[in-house]
Amino acid sequence: MTQHSNQHPATFAFDAVIFDLDGVITKTALVHSAAWKKMFDEFLADWSQRTGNPYVEFTHKADYLPYVDGKPRYKGVADFLESRGISLPMGDPSDAPDAETVCGLGNRKNHAFNEVLERDGVEVYPSTVQLMKDLRQRGIRVGVASSSKNCEVVLKAAGLMPLVETRIDGVVSAELGLKGKPEADIFTTAATRLGCSFDRSVVVEDAVSGVQAGRKGNFGLVLGVAREENHRELYENGADRVVDDLSEVNLQWLNDWFTEGVTNDQWSISYFDYDPAKERSREALLTTGNGYFGTRGAIEESAANAVNYPGTYMAGMYNRLITKIAGRDVDNEDFVNLPNWLHISFSIDQGEWFDINNTRILSISRTLDFRNGLLERRLIVEDTSGRQTKLVSQRTVSMQNLTLAALNYSITPLNYAGKIAIRSGLNGRLINEGVERYKSLSSKHLEPVKEGVENGILFLLVKTNESNHHIAQAANHSLFLNNKPLQPEYVISQQEGYIAATASVSLQAGQTIRLEKIVSVCSDKEDFIDDALTSAMDCASKPLTFQKILDESSLAWSKLWQKMDVQIEGDRMSQKLLRLHLFHLLASVSPINSKLDASITARGLHGEAYRGHIFWDELFILPLYDLHLPDVARSLLMYRYRRLARAREYAKAHGYKGAMFPWQSGSDGREETQVVHLNPLTGEWGDDHSSLQRHVSLAIAYNVWDYFWITGDKEFLKRFGAELFFEICRFWASKAVLNKQTTRYEISGVMGPDEFHEHAPGVETGGLKDNTYTNIMVAWMLGKATNIAGLCGNEVVSKTGFSTEEIDQWGDIAGKLNLVINADGILAQYDGYFDLKELDWDYYRRQYGNIYRMDRILKAEGKSPDAYKVAKQADTLMAFYNLDKAEVDEIVGKLGYQLPDDYLQRNLDYYLARTSHGSTLSRVVHARLAAIAGKPGLSLSLYNDALGSDYVDIQGGTTGEGIHAGVMAGTILIALNTFAGLNYRGEQLRLTPQLPENWQKLSFSASFKGVEYQFIITKTTVSVKASQSGILFVAGKPQSVHSGQWLSITYQ
């Protein structure tokens, strides 16, 4: 964003600016630093003399900035003492300055600060004061938020009180019980007192803890002032923009951010540091893809190591290997990591090849633009000789051409001249090693077939060593000096499974060499590719440039965003994260997938977790595609249909009729779940019952109906969907057993979504009896079979091998399934659940903090989670996520049970208190249920946790193994079906909006039964436009909408 003139717009896009005090308005930060140093040096010298520990002085850079700056006084004392391993009692704020307590030391520092203040007065930053005056003159609200308890005294001494409309300082914080920085309390309280929304307010801070607070508060602009030459640290910790002084800022500059800058920010994610501990998760979140293949956002110059993990994955590309472990053959199908097409690096004057992990990074930024799938990295590094080099890379995977990717890579020596060697290639010498817990399994899936150079194009052909799929990559290179084409002489490096070309160019300081690398990735797994190598070479041989590929891909992305985008006003972080989720879903499954025999993996095309298998997560994913990209949704259902024969075999092998789909599915539809697991402590094998999650078949049946109902695709239902649905019905009918004593049907030997419970306590046989979620969904499904039979007619029913008599029998089962309900109206997760022990949740939270994986905690204590009322995720309550409460009420009523009017509220309270959210999907489900139960605050809190779960890697490293596709889709659907209140389960669309408090507007598109709708929802109105005239309901009232015309409805 460039500097602008002082011309002001008639109206502003922001309402308030909240300033920190020390270091932003006044130069008291240096006084504070000096006072802290005086106090701590005296204390440390005395402490050293008394304890014998070495004396190490308190310094501005090593101690003041990281531990004290910007924080409340006593927290600063505590954090610094902790850094030195010194433990003192907290004491009380009334402690005398000579008291050896945390509060006493804080008061001692304050005494020293006040002495200096009285002696020298207060010096201000003139540019800040001028900006405050300009803001007030133009009607922009001004506040001050500071941790200092001296804030009022300082402002009065500086004569600034008339400019400040609200002041939240250490004194006010203590009165209100506000948390100090890096929590956002003082800033959010200031904005609230000014009557301004956070998204239209600015936070101005010079401290790391301050910009962290501004980011947590989700403010419209977090502006860092780098008084300490700490630009990078401020960017890393949440500043949107960083300046040296506020003389660089005026009202036009601020307004431009709110009209342009924040919009651009909501279309991207950026990282301004290189943190080895976070690099794997960032690689996943910076993945680019098109549905056919995806490439992790790994550093181009890196190979697989403890920090970095380059990975390229192709939809449906699996390979099966046998591993001998502890005397047993373990059959394992993996999601194959394909050859690394990013492979590129450079060296200076024949020195070592560049290594990101062995260099000094002066600056780094990485930005993924959701609008066009462009990943850009800017990097300035310095080697041990002091030579500084600027590196810029751009990459994209084409959304227009399924096999194409492109890389643009430039090198600029900044302070030296030398010979630069640039090497680029294709590397197939790799194994699957992206998930630590799989490393005991055989992982070499690729065998080299052929590599070489033809007509200047590098090529590499490998094959999977069991599934025998050939994968080819071809790379065409163009080299430029200051954007003028070069014809260098390449030196070829060729080894088995590896091919690279190196060019050397002498550069002066400031000159730039740029390499364009156009890559084609093909596999003969697809019916439309006869020969992978020929196809790859043909594609790479075309006259393509990086810019042409990017432009065409950008156009394809633009068309997708027109259909898929969800726009929010009032919550910039939710907007960014929803687009992050949409981007990664489309990178995993896009219109390109309509050509493929593949489904969406639980972890996208982003990593190797769950070995790239397909689970029940499609329950959370397909409705989104039903509403926006029905052809893609159909292709994902066809993946299941093509594996129907395998599901029939699976059911038959277990003594059942119909089709029993596997919990984990891969290449051919067999069960990929391990049925035993090795105890690493004892070396013994034990049963693994997770394959008993037969509810995956219910998810498939649900998606068949949902797809038909939303799209109206009757042709699919007749040709494929009905058969798929009926076979699943037949399986569950054969699994339901009539109890002659109760005259009810019971279903045993299953697990629900809660994986903490595999069997009843003390029982070795796996599975549970009468899981409520399973039985309700089976009743729903068997009841729907009659509807499908009626829609398709007897000819289709008999053609698929079913009879009306059999379907009638299913109806009988649907009305007699067993549920276990206690006197309070609580639906038992399964028969026997109420006999389990209660858990002391407060104890475990105090003891462990993070209790997401309570199963592991209990097992480590020698206990079994099967014995306790503890759930990994929503189980019983999942029925209310899938179905309207009215549908569940009807099912329960037909089963002959009566429940209290508030039973959903009771069940939500009961199970939420007993759920550890070990699966991120849990928060998605509970967020929706809390809204249904009339708890908007709880709903939003759970939703925000789910929305940020991959972005912040809430589970501590799992995002690095792949995104959580089900959660990403679920958060988007919650925005639509919960917050917008979009209900598509009836004959007409219904909207009952309940926007979160800080969401001012929500806009999106959706398709229902072939009609395209556009919606704009505010706190009081719904505006809708449809491609055909018709009726929809808003807040329970019918509304007539006319084709192509906007209709605005006030709903409250």
Residues carrying an active site annotation:
755
DSSP 99-111: SSSHHHHHHHHHH
Q: How far is it, in rounded angstroms, from Cα 588 to Cα 66?
A: 40
- What is the DSSP-derived secondary structure letter of residue 51? H
DSSP 817-876: B---B-TT-PBPSSTTGGGSBP--HHHHHHHHS--TTHHHHHHHTT--GGGBS-BSS-ST
Is 838 exposed, middle or buried, given 0-12, 13-18 or 19+ CB atoms closer than 10 A? exposed
Q: How far is it, in rounded angstroms, from Cα 602 to Cα 617?
A: 6
Q: How far is it, in rounded angstroms, from Cα 833 to Cα 914?
A: 12
Sequence-distant (6+) residues with CB within 8 A of 304 are 310, 430, 433, 434
1001-1008 vs 288-289, strand pairing mode: unpaired
Sheet containing 288-289, strands listed edge to edge, beginning at the edge strand earlier in sequence: 288-289, 293-295, 312-314
Residue type, 315: A
Decide: 927 and 946 in contact? Cβ < 8 Å. yes
Q: How many CB atoms lie within 10 A of CB 1025?
A: 17
Cα 33-35-36 angle, rounded to 5 deg: 65
E-only strand ranges, 399-490 = 404-413, 418-427, 446-454, 457-464, 470-481, 484-486
Length of the chain as a residue count? 1052
Alpha helices in 474-571 (DSSP H): 532-540, 546-564
DSSP 297-326: ---TT--SSSS----EEETT-EEEEEEEET
Residue listed under structure tokens 């041989």: 541
Write b or e for each residue in 532-547: b if 16 or more Cβ atoms lie within 10 A of its Cβ, otherwise e: bbebbbebbbeebebe
E-only strand ranges, 563-648 = 567-569
Q: How far is it, in rounded angstroms, from Cα 580 to Cα 573?
A: 10
Decide: 319 and 464 in contact? Cβ < 8 Å. yes
E-only strand ranges, 178-259 = 201-205, 221-225, 241-243
Q: How far is it, in rounded angstroms, from Cα 375 to Cα 366?
A: 7
Q: How far is it, in rounded angstroms, from Cα 687 to Cα 764?
A: 9
E-only strand ranges, 1-147 = 16-19, 141-145
Compute CA 113 distance to the chain's CA centroid, rounded to the nearest angstrom: 45
E-only strand ranges, 240-315 = 241-243, 268-271, 288-289, 293-295, 312-314
Sheet containing 344-348, strands listed edge to edge, beginning at the edge strand earlier in sequence: 344-348, 418-427, 498-507, 491-495
Residue listed under structure tokens 């300033």: 19
Q: Which of 776, 1035, 990 is nearest to 882 (CA)?
A: 776
Compute CA 952 distance to the chain's CA centroid, rounded to the nearest angstrom: 8
**Which token pair is 123?**
């010096």
Element (H, E) at 376: strand 374-382
Report how far apart the first and last C-alpha atoms of the chain are (Å, whole number). 40
